[in-house]
A and B are shown apart, each in its own frame.
Chain A
Amino acid sequence: MEKFDVIIAGAGLAGLAAAYTLAGNGLEVLVLERGDYPGAKNVTGGRLYVNPIRDLFQDLWDEAPLERFIVREGAVLMARNHSVSIGYAGNELRAEPHQSYSILRAKFDRWLAEQAEAKGAMLLTKVRVDEVIKEDEKIVGVLAGGDELRADVVIACDGVLSLVSEKAGLRTPGSPHDYAVGLKEVIALDPAVINDRFHLEGNEGAALLFIGEATRGLFGGGFLYTNKESISLGVVIGVQSLLEAGSAPDAPAMLDAFKQRPEIAPLIRGGTTLEYAAHVIPEGGYKALGPLYGNGMLVAGDAAGLALNIGFTVRGMEYALASGYYAAQAVLRASAARNFNSETLAIYKQFLEESFVLKDFKNFQETPAVLGNPRFINHYPELVGDLMGQIYRVPPGPKDRLYPTMRKVFTLTEMWSQLKDLRDVSKI
Chain B
Amino acid sequence: MSDSTALKAKLGLDIFKPGGEPHIKIKPGMEKDPRLQQAINICPAGLYSTADKGGVVLNIDGCLECGTCRIACGTDVLEWSYPEGGTGVQFRFG
Q: Chain B, 2-40, contact with A by CB distance < 8 Å: what is the 0/1 string?
A: 110011001101100100000000000000000000101
Identify A275's interface contact among B43, B81, B91, CB under 8 A: B91
Given contacts A34-B85, A128-B85, contact A243 B67 (CB under 8 A): no
Q: Which residues of the partner chain B approach A105 to less than 8 Å between Cβ atoms?
A: 91, 93-94
Specify the chain A residue showing the minimal Cβ separation from B40. Answer: A250
Contact of A250 among B46, B71, B82 (CB under 8 A): B46
Contact yes or no, B42 A250, CB < 8 A: yes
For A228-267 the 0/1 string (1 means CB < 8 A from B) is 0010000000010011001111111100100000000000
A249-B94 contact given A126-B86, A173-B75, CB 8 Å threshold:
no
Q: Which of B38, B44, B65 is in CB contact (< 8 Å) with A41? A: B65
Contact (Cβ within 8 A) A276 B2: no
Name B11's contact: one of A43, A175, A276 (CB within 8 Å).
A276
Whether B91 pairs with A250 at a CB distance below 8 angstroms is no
User: B26-64: which have CB < 8 Å to A?
Assistant: 38, 40-46, 64
Q: Are A127 and B44 within 8 A (Cβ)?
A: no
Are B13 and A274 within 8 A (Cβ)? yes
The residue from B45, B46, B72, B91 contacting A242, defined by CB atoms under 8 A apart:
B72
- The proximity string for B residues 69-89 relative to A, scoring 1 for CB distances below 8 Å and 0 otherwise, is 011101100000111111011
Query: Is A121 an interface residue when CB atoms closer than 8 A count as contact?
Result: no
Question: Are B93 and A176 closer than 8 Å at their CB atoms?
Answer: no
Task: Decide: A247 near B91, CB < 8 A? Known: A128-B84, A280-B66.
Answer: no
Residues of chain A in range 262-289 having any CB-CB distance to chain B below 8 Å: 273-280
For residue A223, CB closer than 8 A to chain B, the reply is: no
Q: Which residues of chain B come closer than 8 Å to A37, judged between CB atoms?
A: 90
Contact between chains at A106 and B94 (CB < 8 Å): yes
Q: Which of A145, A175, A183 contacts B85 (CB 8 A)?
A: A145
Give the nearest-CB partner of A254 in chain B: B2
Q: How far is it, in angstroms, between the C-alpha of A256 and the C-alpha of B1 when the chains are bound?
A: 10
Give Cα A248–Cα B7 distance, bound, in whole angstroms.
Answer: 16
Contacts of B14 in A (CB 8 A): 275-277
Given contacts A163-B82, A230-B93, contact A280 B1 (CB under 8 A): no
Q: Is the CB of B41 within 8 A of A176?
A: no
Set of chain A residues within 8 Å of B1, measured between Cβ atoms: 248-250, 253
Give the CA-CA distance A105 to B89 in the complex, in Å: 14
Cα of A63 to Cα of B1 in the assembled complex, Å: 44
- A247 surroundings in chain B (CB, below 8 A): 41
In whole angstroms, how far apart are the Cα atoms of A176 and B38 in the complex?
A: 12
A206: Cβ under 8 A from any B Cβ: no
Contact with B along A181-225 (1 / 0, CB 8 A): 101011000000000000000000000000000000000000000
A193 to B10, CA, bound (A): 23
Q: B91: which of A106, A181, A256 is its contact (CB, 8 Å)?
A: A106
Interface string of A158-179 (1 = CB under 8 A from B): 0011010000000001111001
CB pair A253–B2 under 8 Å, yes or no, is yes
Report whether A243 and B38 are in contact in the complex, using a CB–CB cutoff of 8 Å.
Answer: yes
Residue A173 contacts which of B3, B38, B70, B91 (CB distance < 8 angstroms)?
B70
Taking the closest CB of chain B, its distance from the CB of A422, in whole angstroms, is 32
* Distance of A127 Cα from B90 Cα, bound (Å): 14
Residues of A within 8 A of B67 (CB): 160-161, 279-280
Residue A104 is within 8 A (CB to CB) of chain B in the complex: yes
Which residues of the other chain, A, contact B88 by a CB distance below 8 angstroms?
A: 41
Q: Is the CB of B93 within 8 A of A278?
A: no
Instruction: State whether the Cβ of A310 lies closer than 8 Å to any Cβ in chain B.
Output: no
Q: How far apart are B88's CB and chain A's nearest CB, in angstroms?
A: 8
In the complex, whether A40 has a CB less than 8 A from a CB of chain B is yes
User: Smallest CB-CB separation from A110: which chain B residue?
Assistant: B94
A107–B67 Cα distance when bound, in Å, is: 22
Point out the residue from B13, B64, B82, B90 that lies within 8 Å of A278, measured CB to CB. B64
A372 CB-CB contact with B under 8 Å: no
CA distance A242 to B73 in the complex (A): 12
**Chain A residue at minimal CB-CB distance from B37:** A247
Supposing A125-B86, A126-B85, A250-B46 touch, asked if A278 and B94 sit within 8 A by C-beta, the answer is no
Contact A239 B92 (CB under 8 A): no
- A280 lies within 8 A of B93 (CB): no
Report how far A144 CA is from B71 CA in the complex, Å.
24
The 22 listed contacts between A and B (C-beta, < 8 Å) are A35-B86, A35-B90, A40-B90, A40-B91, A104-B93, A106-B92, A106-B93, A161-B67, A161-B70, A163-B82, A181-B42, A181-B66, A183-B44, A239-B72, A242-B42, A247-B41, A252-B46, A256-B2, A273-B13, A276-B14, A278-B44, A278-B64
Knowing that A249-B41, A276-B14 touch, tell me 4 more A-B residue pairs with CB under 8 angstroms: A173-B75, A249-B2, A251-B44, A253-B3
Q: Nearest 7 A-B pairs (CB), nearest first? A: A126-B86, A105-B94, A278-B44, A253-B2, A280-B67, A278-B66, A252-B2
